[in-house]
Chains A and B, each alone.
Chain A
Amino acid sequence: MSFVEYSDFIQDGDVAIVYLGHDSLMPVKVQQGAQTQTRYGAIRHSTDLIGKRYGSKVTCSKGGWVQVLHPTPELWTVSLPHRTQILYTTDIATITMMLELKPGSVVCESGTGSGSLSHAILRTIAPTGHLHTVEFHQQRAEKVAEEFKEHRVDHLVTVRNQDVCKDGFGVSGVADAVFLDIPSPWEAVGHAKAALKRQGGRLCSFSPCIEQVQKTCVALADQGFEDISPLEVLLRVHDVRNISLPLPDFGPDSYSQTEPDAKQQAPNHASVALKTTTPPREIPGHTGYLTFATKPRT
């Protein structure tokens, strides 16, 4: 297992994602002799996980069963331990495409936070790219570096514990893309420019508030960035449902010419069943504005 390479069988030291049911996932560090408690009972790693194929059904001690999935950045995003607010897959997908990330890209990111986006970036730029990520919170920086190691992607990433607004990304003239998710991105725009390749590159800044976007756009324009384009992407999930719409009873139809027995069949519980979708009662209405820009050649 690695977050950047599929394998078929679960091995000691892997991180596996246990699928407990709809929207309920749990990451498990696979260790010989270890046990994991789930609501369906315990999973014994040595017998239930190690050597099994990813995607298999595993029967837990109470008789319930779960599926064990190969880790992907997307599964990690919905199961990782939060140390900060994180970016979700809808925004991540947009960022990845609009920053033109691909194998070999060199990317700068700040802050690292819980590493949700970082894993997706690493997946996309492997095997030849590199991620320089900056996190000013020491404990978070250490924790995320540890996770990268566990997930066998540490060869693709450098974590720096510094303040991006003051000290920049620790590299200059190497990046194809820069991503900012910090409270005052406008203070880091100069550093972002310096980190990007002389030949140019792409930038994205994520901010929840429009005032932040406003300031960032001014800073980007001042630094000579072009094609400044703020946008917002929202996910709409559709729940598939069987619904049944009852038909009202209009009472005896004395005008119609139909036979009497047809009338008798029609009344009480007449309804039309159909398959449709409904939106969830509440959906996330806003995550953040994504501001994209291009650094021209300097």
Chain B
Amino acid sequence: MADNGDDDAQYRIKEGDYVVLKRGDIFKAMQIQPRKKVIFEKQWFFLDKAVGHLYSTKFEILSGGNLQPKKPKDPESPGDAKEAGTDNRHILDDGRSQKLTRDDIETLKEQGLKGQEIVQQLIENSSTFRDKTEFAQDKYIKKKKKKYENTVTVLKPSCRILAMMYHGREPGKICHLRYDSLAQMLTLANIHAGSKVLVFETCAGLVLGSVMERMGGYGSVIQMYPGGGPVRAGVESFGFPAHFHDTLHDFPICHVNALLAGTLDTAAKDPCADEKQSNTAEEQNPPEAGPRGSPEEQSMETNAGDDTAADQEKKEREKLKEAKAQGKRVKLEEKRKKLAAAASLLEGRNADGLIIASRFHPCPVLMVLLKFLSPSRPFVVYSQYKEPLIECYTKLKEQGGTVSLRLADTWLRHYQVLPNRTHPLLLMSGGGGYLLSGTTVATDRAKPAGSQRADEPAPKRLKVTDTEG
């Protein structure tokens, strides 16, 4: 079973890994950093203690922030008291059924008693526990366990887990996109390996990351971003291997008009990126200008030939700065190259899919980005609200160039399924947003309009008329 051992390597938690912590239904994304104290659900511990263990291990949090893997077959049900009542006619709520006081419980905790042991103590000191029905006992134990058991599971991130996490923790950051809606988007847009997909999102990078996960590092994703730069915090949390990032391109939405008009000059400087460049240039300029710009220092350098130590130091510093500036220049050059690469990917206007999920009005975004899609390709627009999608729908109907338009949302209901206690969960999500989806088709109007690119539609049209005749 030697290869099994090898297999396990990829299932082991490593330093620097992006992981998701889970307790109950609560998730939190984290990166494992050495000796970093992590606070999760009112408990603190050192996450790097999980390094070397396998993913999905359930840890018990011990005093001093240590983590101890829970044994897989821990006796889960404390006090299998087979004694139970049948109804609650004799149970009185006198507030005195628990013999342990709050102070007692605190003392137990301080003694370093494990959560399970505390729960056991609570059961033993509850005068009414034995009179409760079997179901009520179960519920009691579950509730106490939730409160006193201090366990945390370390999970490998995935689209499912992160989408659930964001929806539970920070729905505002992802425009209240519920995970089932995200699932619909990925499927309706036919996201798969090898395609070229456009993404415009302001969902912290969650949608982008989900698209990248489904593409598995094959094909290309072009993130169209508003403002100064793409937001990708959520993408980080996926912990993709490095080569995934080679398939990710970005393009500022502020250049789209220029690109469509054919006036975008990626070889030279362009206004939007230029602004950023000059900003960053300014930031780096003052320290750079210091030694280099001032004649005093330069003269000092040339004059103080004998002061070798100082000279050396100065030179070193200079070199460092030079290297830094060089690095910045290289970065800027890389950035420009990346922009040019993204532009050339877009210029073909042959993208295979489009996903929009943002806080912006979807209508103008959709109208402009649809132009980059090949015919017979799906697109999906998400909006937290229905009305802007009604507008999109109307506009698309007027304009043509799309079929199978559908405005829809999904309704999600979770169930509790237990022997004799099956029912829908008491709380459900009120809404997970709306989706407008459809498929692009070749338009008659686009043919004369796209005269620069008339090479493809023209012969097709001829053939159509041929067959008619």
A residues contacting B by CB (< 8 A) are 4-6, 8, 19, 22, 44, 47-48, 51-59, 67-70, 72-75, 89-90, 92-94, 96-98, 100, 102-104, 120, 123-124, 126-128, 198-200, 210, 213-214, 217-218, 228-240, 275-277, 289, 291, 294, 296-297
- Docked-complex contact B216 and A199, CB < 8 angstroms: no
Comparing B269-277, B295-303, B404-412, the segment that makes contact with chain A is B404-412
With beta carbons under 8 angstroms apart, the residue of A75, A127, A214 that contacts B218 is: A127
A235 to B407, CA, bound (A): 10
With beta carbons under 8 angstroms apart, the residue of B407, B417, B456, B466 that contacts A240 is: B407
- Complex contacts, B180 vs chain A, CB 8 Å: 93-94, 97, 233
Closest A residue to B466 using CB positions: A47
- Docked-complex contact A5 and B194, CB < 8 angstroms: yes
What total count of A-B pairs have CB within 8 Å?
A: 200
- Docked-complex contact B8 and A199, CB < 8 angstroms: yes
- Complex contacts, A128 vs chain B, CB 8 Å: 216
Given contacts A53-B376, A93-B180, 12 further A-B contacts (CB under 8 A): A19-B404, A56-B375, A72-B190, A97-B163, A100-B158, A103-B217, A123-B192, A199-B11, A213-B417, A238-B409, A277-B386, A296-B56
A132 to chain B, nearest CB (A): 19
Most chain B beta-carbon neighbours within 10 Å: one of A51, A97, A98: A97
| Contact digits for B176-195, partner A, Cβ 8 Å, 1 yes 0 no | 00011011101110101111
B402 to chain A, nearest CB (A): 10
A62 to B414, CA, bound (A): 51
With beta carbons under 8 angstroms apart, the residue of B188, B215, B467 that contacts A93 is: B188
Most chain A beta-carbon neighbours within 10 Å: one of B186, B393, B415: B415
- Docked-complex contact A57 and B183, CB < 8 angstroms: no
- Complex contacts, B138 vs chain A, CB 8 Å: none
- Docked-complex contact A102 and B216, CB < 8 angstroms: yes
- Complex contacts, A48 vs chain B, CB 8 Å: 467
Most chain A beta-carbon neighbours within 10 Å: one of B179, B192, B386, B409: B192
A297 to B180, CA, bound (A): 27
Dominant secondary structure of chain B at its interface with chain A: mixed
Instruction: Say whether, besides A8-B374, A74-B190, A124-B214, A237 and B407 are in contact (CB < 8 Å).
Output: yes
Closest B residue to A50 using CB positions: B463
Q: Is B419 an interface residue (CB 8 A)?
A: yes
- Docked-complex contact A100 and B375, CB < 8 angstroms: no
A217 to chain B, nearest CB (A): 5
- Docked-complex contact B412 and A93, CB < 8 angstroms: no
B residues contacting A by CB (< 8 A) are 4, 7-8, 11, 54, 56, 72, 158-160, 163, 179-180, 182-184, 186-188, 190, 192-195, 213-218, 350, 352, 374-378, 386, 390-391, 393-394, 403-404, 406-415, 417-419, 422, 434, 439-442, 444, 456-457, 460, 463-464, 466-468
- Complex contacts, A19 vs chain B, CB 8 Å: 403-404, 439, 441
- Docked-complex contact B403 and A52, CB < 8 angstroms: no
- Complex contacts, B434 vs chain A, CB 8 Å: 238
- Docked-complex contact B186 and A97, CB < 8 angstroms: yes
A207 to B360, CA, bound (A): 40
- Docked-complex contact B376 and A54, CB < 8 angstroms: yes
- Complex contacts, A297 vs chain B, CB 8 Å: 11, 54, 56
B59 to chain A, nearest CB (A): 14
- Docked-complex contact B186 and A100, CB < 8 angstroms: no
- Complex contacts, A238 vs chain B, CB 8 Å: 386, 407-409, 434
A55 to B376, CA, bound (A): 4
- Docked-complex contact B390 and A240, CB < 8 angstroms: yes
Closest A residue to B408 using CB positions: A237
- Docked-complex contact B440 and A55, CB < 8 angstroms: yes
Closest A residue to B158 using CB positions: A100
- Complex contacts, B442 vs chain A, CB 8 Å: 53, 55-57
- Docked-complex contact B415 and A69, CB < 8 angstroms: no
- Complex contacts, A72 vs chain B, CB 8 Å: 190, 378
Instruction: Say whether, besides A102-B213, A233-B412, A238-B408, A96 and B183 are in contact (CB < 8 Å).
Output: yes
Most chain B beta-carbon neighbours within 10 Å: one of A69, A75, A127, A276: A69
- Docked-complex contact B186 and A96, CB < 8 angstroms: yes
Name 13 A/B residue pairs within 8 A (Cβ), A-sorted. Answer: A53-B376, A54-B374, A74-B190, A94-B183, A97-B186, A128-B216, A199-B7, A213-B417, A214-B417, A229-B414, A277-B390, A277-B407, A289-B415
Closest A residue to B397 using CB positions: A240
Instruction: Say whether, besides A59-B468, A74-B190, A297-B56, A52 and B415 are in contact (CB < 8 Å).
Output: no
- Complex contacts, A234 vs chain B, CB 8 Å: 410-411, 413
A235 to B410, CA, bound (A): 5
- Docked-complex contact A98 and B410, CB < 8 angstroms: no
- Docked-complex contact B193 and A74, CB < 8 angstroms: no
A222 to B350, CA, bound (A): 51
B9 to chain A, nearest CB (A): 11
- Docked-complex contact A98 and B417, CB < 8 angstroms: no
- Docked-complex contact A104 and B464, CB < 8 angstroms: no
- Docked-complex contact B375 and A232, CB < 8 angstroms: no
Instruction: Say whether, besides A232-B415, A240-B393, A90 and B194 are in contact (CB < 8 Å).
Output: no
A253 to B66, CA, bound (A): 81
- Complex contacts, B192 vs chain A, CB 8 Å: 4, 103, 123-124, 126
- Complex contacts, B183 vs chain A, CB 8 Å: 93-94, 96-98
Q: Which 3 A-B pairs have the closest CB atoms?
A: A55-B375, A103-B216, A55-B376
- Complex contacts, B440 vs chain A, CB 8 Å: 55
- Docked-complex contact A52 and B190, CB < 8 angstroms: no
A193 to chain B, nearest CB (A): 15
- Docked-complex contact B11 and A228, CB < 8 angstroms: no
- Complex contacts, B412 vs chain A, CB 8 Å: 231-233
A4 to B216, CA, bound (A): 13
- Docked-complex contact A232 and B413, CB < 8 angstroms: yes
- Docked-complex contact A237 and B56, CB < 8 angstroms: no
A199 to B417, CA, bound (A): 26
- Complex contacts, B158 vs chain A, CB 8 Å: 100
- Complex contacts, B463 vs chain A, CB 8 Å: 47, 51-52
A275 to B218, CA, bound (A): 42
- Complex contacts, B413 vs chain A, CB 8 Å: 231-234
- Docked-complex contact B441 and A55, CB < 8 angstroms: yes
- Complex contacts, A56 vs chain B, CB 8 Å: 375, 441-442, 460, 464
